[in-house]
Amino acid sequence: MTIIEFPVRRSSVVTGIAIMALPLVALGVKFLNPGWLMLFLLYGGILIGAAYVFLAVMASSGFFGKRAAFSFVESRRGRIAGLGHGISLVLATFFLTDGGDSTWTSAFISLFGLDLETWVDPSDAIASVLFIVAIGAYLWFLVEWVIAVRVKRRLV
C-alpha cells in the first residue's frame, strides 16, 4: 500500500489560517458597533460556535499537513469558497446596522460620518446580501471539503 503525501505549500497554510481567522475579525468588527443584535451572539452562541468549530475542522484538515484533503484535488474552488465566506462575513458585519433603543448605526456609517436617516436602509440591504453570500459560501466550502475528503479516502 502506497501512502500519498504532498509537500506542504505555504499558500495552503496561509489560506487555512485566513479561513479560520476571518470570522474572528468579523466578530471584532461587530464589537466596534455593539447593540441589541449582540444578544443574538449570546443566544445563538452555541450554533455560531458549532459552525465556527466545524469551519476550523474543515480548514485544518483541508489545508494543513502533507496529506491535507485539498492537496488531492484542484483546490481553487475550495479556496475561493472558504475565503469568500470569511470576506463576505467581515464585510457584512461592517455594514450591519445595530444600536440601542434610540440610535442605529453601522461601522460603515460611523467610519465615514454619513447621515443616519439616509444610509441606514442601504447599509442594512448591503449587509443582508453579504450575509446570504456568506452562508452560501460556507455551504459551498462544505461541499468542496466533502468532495476533497472523498477523493483523498479513495486514493489513500
pLDDT tens for residues 44-88? 788 888 999 999 999 999 988 878 888 888 888 999 999 999 999
Do 153 and 111 meet the contact criterion of CB atoms below 8 Å apart?
no
pLDDT for res 72: 82
pLDDT interval class at 152 (50, 70, 90): confident
Tell me which of 42 and 21 has the higher pLDDT.
Answer: 21
Amino acid code (one letter) for 123:
S
The whole-number average pLDDT for the span 108-120 is 89
Q: Backbone dihedral region of 113: left (phi > 0), alpha (psi from -120 to 50 degrees) or beta?
A: left
Q: Hey, how many other C-beta atoms are within 10 angstroms of the C-beta on 43?
A: 9
pLDDT of 41 over the 80 cut: no
What is the residue whose three cell numbers read 471539503?
Answer: 145
CA distance 29 to 43: 19
State the cell numbers at 74.
484542484
This prediction has a pTM of: 0.88
- The model's confidence at residue 99, banded by pLDDT at 50, 70 and 90, is confident
